[in-house]
Amino acid sequence: MIERISRRTHEQWIELIQEQKLSTLSIANFCEQQGLGIHSFYYHKQKMNRDRLRSGFVEIHPAARGIRLRFDQDAWIIDVERDFDPVCMKQFFEVLHA
């Protein structure tokens, strides 16, 4: 049986969530491997996304996410790959609209 840590800091949750995104594991498998409760993982992931939207900033990794921003003749142009994450795109436009 995997021993669970009872309390993690906000920074530790951010690291774990980012680590899962970069892994090839499903959230369930990642949580099992790390000794995390799956409900706790989803709670902190949702909380992190709400906090990010509230702050007015959405972190986008252009190389990893398939988006490129450029400025051309007094206008911003957004180039997006076909398989770009729609959730990230929605958050991006919510921040721009705010």
- pLDDT value, residue 60: 57
Residues 6+ apart with CB under 8 A from 10: none
Select from 61, 59, 67 the least CA-distant residue to 83.
67
Question: Which residues are bridge partners to 67 per DSSP?
Answer: 80
The 10s digit of each residue's pLDDT in 40-91 is 999 998 888 777 666 655 565 544 456 677 777 778 787 877 777 777 777 7
Domains of the chain, by residue range, sit at: 1-55, 62-98
